[in-house]
Homo-oligomer: A and B are copies of this chain.
Amino acid sequence: MLNRVRSAVAHLVSSGGTPSQRPKSPDLPNATSATPAPPETPKSPLARPGSEVWVPPKTAETRASFSRPTFLQLSPGGLRRADDHAGRAVQSPPDTGRRLPWSTGYAEVINAGKSRHNEDQACCEVVYVESRRSGTGASKEPTRNQGLCFYYWGLFDGHAGGGAAEMASRLLHRHIREQLKDLVEILQDPLPPPLCLQSTPGTPGFSDPSHLVSPQAYWSPQKEVTHESLVIGAIENAFQLMDEQMARERRGHQVEGGCCALVVVYLLGKMYVANAGDSRAIIIRNGEIIPMSREFTPETERQRLQLLGFLKPELLGSEFTHLEFPRRVQPKELGKRMLYRDQNMTGWAYKKIELEDLRFPLVCGEGKKARVMATIGVTRGLGDHNLKVCSSTLAIKPFLSCFPEVRVYDLTQYEHCPDDVLVLGTDGLWDVTNDCEVAATVDRVLSAHEPNDPSRYTALAQALVLGARGIPRDRGWRLPNNKLGSGDDISVFVIPLGGPGSYS
């Protein structure tokens, strides 16, 4: 994530002067001292979320001070090439016949030098969910106790260090599994979920045969809750538990910085796309673009941030104002009237400038330069528990949300052809391209490969990454139109929806 945490202008908070060199906040972990973590996932599953301490995996051969996704199967030499900012070689899983689930395509490339290592991480897994206990209430057949399987893809775009992204890439799917363990029988039961379970899971008598009958409908008929909304709730709570685990363990285990998280869960015929941050997911189906996420930035979440600052002014200290102005207010403008907007407004109006309007605005800047408290450019994600405003003790975390927005795509509702794909990309991709250009690349690359060629999705992921990176020319990475390519880490998954993958 390029420049997503920037403290360049934070000194203006109290001084009102002109920008200087970027000072390094003592509270921001140094991006150059990333967690030593070899490319091996820990083997032991989390028994209960929150009860297990994460230990960064160690092997005898700690070959590098950074890690890449295990499915890349990088040798020590490959790892060095993946870490080379000058070459920026595109990385994909080796074409060995052992492919990612669903023949998923993947490609990544390191940034052009903005941080020492690639701070993106990725995960692709098939996860088996065993029921927490036989008979969780919905099934009346005690013998029916098969587990569930879900397919999982995750992109994690780290900032201010690689620790949070790496931890999330190794553990978030396990938190999801833990949340789903209580729901195994309920999700397999065609009846609506029980509103109330008779006792805690893992104890006998958990079953509630009368769960569909409201004992006494007090104010109105009870609300209907769908299986789908239980999976959404499980994913939402998994994100929160992941974030809480980062908070607990950040001191002992170098969980540096924070990360955006974009994950896809395929379960019982549906794709659940959960996004917290500024990565993006789109489906291309028969050439049509279906957005499957939206970005969470200081601009898109301005009103949520301002409302929080308004309701909890102590979070702003005496340094920030929750009001937004179109540019920094100057002391000499006291008493004049300037455009502003508050937490309730989408339009602008004039107000007379008062002393406290000279404070730094909670939300400032536009586009990729938009910032919360002059520091961070994304407003949802995991981690960032240590993040402070530069030269201040003000915490930024209260303004960040770890909760994703979850969108659901029902695969059973459509006939899919091999060219229909779900594309996930970190902002390194989307900063220099758009949905339409990606759809055009999808069409171009897939039509150049046989529909039954399983390597076509990797070829597509590589083409997307290369198209966003560009080639070295004129002292920079440049696109064919001579504009600058993305200097950020770029990571892309291409998930075929009707391809050779067998997922039903």
A57-B487 Cα distance, complex, nearest whole Å:
67
A199-B401 Cα distance, complex, nearest whole Å:
40
Pick from B223, B311, B364, B365: contact of A312, CB below 8 A: B311
Encode contact with B along A345-359: 1 for CB under 8 Å, 0 otherwise: 111111010000000
Query: Which stretch of A232-240, A411-419, A434-442 is in the interface?
Result: A232-240
A298-B391 Cα distance, complex, nearest whole Å:
42
A344-B325 Cα distance, complex, nearest whole Å:
28
A214 contact set on B, CB distance < 8 A: 327
A446-B219 Cα distance, complex, nearest whole Å:
44
A222 within 8 A of B: yes
A237 contact set on B, CB distance < 8 A: 345, 349
A179 within 8 A of B: yes
Pick from B198, B235, B348: contact of A347, CB below 8 A: B235
Encode contact with B along A321-346: 1 for CB under 8 Å, 0 otherwise: 00001111010010111110100111
A197 within 8 A of B: yes
A374 touches B327 (CB 8 A): no
A182-B339 Cα distance, complex, nearest whole Å:
12
B236 touches A346 (CB 8 A): yes
A469-B307 Cα distance, complex, nearest whole Å:
41
Pick from B215, B234, B348: contact of A225, CB below 8 A: B348
A229 touches B12 (CB 8 A): no
Pick from B219, B234, B335, B348: contact of A229, CB below 8 A: B348
| A179-200, CB < 8 A from B | 179, 182, 193, 195-200
A81-B240 Cα distance, complex, nearest whole Å:
60
Pick from B199, B307, B333: contact of A196, CB below 8 A: B333
A217 within 8 A of B: yes
Encode contact with B along A375-405: 1 for CB under 8 Å, 0 otherwise: 0000000000000000000000000010101
A339 contact set on B, CB distance < 8 A: 193, 195-196, 225
A233-B345 Cα distance, complex, nearest whole Å:
7
CB-nearest residue of chain B to A9: B219
B230 touches A336 (CB 8 A): no
A245-B10 Cα distance, complex, nearest whole Å:
40
CB-nearest residue of chain B to A237: B349
CB-nearest residue of chain B to A223: B326
| A282-308, CB < 8 A from B | 307-308
A346 touches B219 (CB 8 A): no
Decide yes or no: A345 and B403 within 8 Å by CB, A196-B333, A198-B336, A338-B197 being known contacts.
Answer: yes
CB-nearest residue of chain B to A197: B337
A222 touches B327 (CB 8 A): yes
- Nearest-Cβ distance from residue A110 to partner chain B, whole angstroms: 27
A18 touches B218 (CB 8 A): yes
A406 within 8 A of B: yes
For this complex, 30 residue pairs linking A to B, each with C-beta atoms less than 8 Å apart, are A9-B219, A12-B218, A18-B216, A19-B218, A179-B349, A182-B350, A193-B339, A195-B326, A195-B339, A196-B336, A196-B337, A199-B335, A199-B337, A200-B335, A200-B352, A218-B327, A219-B328, A219-B364, A219-B365, A220-B365, A220-B366, A222-B326, A223-B326, A223-B366, A230-B349, A232-B346, A233-B341, A233-B345, A234-B347, A237-B349
Q: Which residues of A contact B (CB under 8 A)?
A: 9, 12, 16, 18-19, 179, 182, 193, 195-201, 214-225, 228-237, 240, 307-308, 311-312, 325-328, 330, 333, 335-339, 341, 344-350, 352, 364-366, 369, 374, 401, 403, 405-406
Task: Known pairs A19-B218, A218-B328, A220-B369; list 8 more (Cβ under 8 Å).
Answer: A179-B349, A195-B327, A196-B338, A197-B350, A198-B336, A215-B330, A216-B330, A219-B328
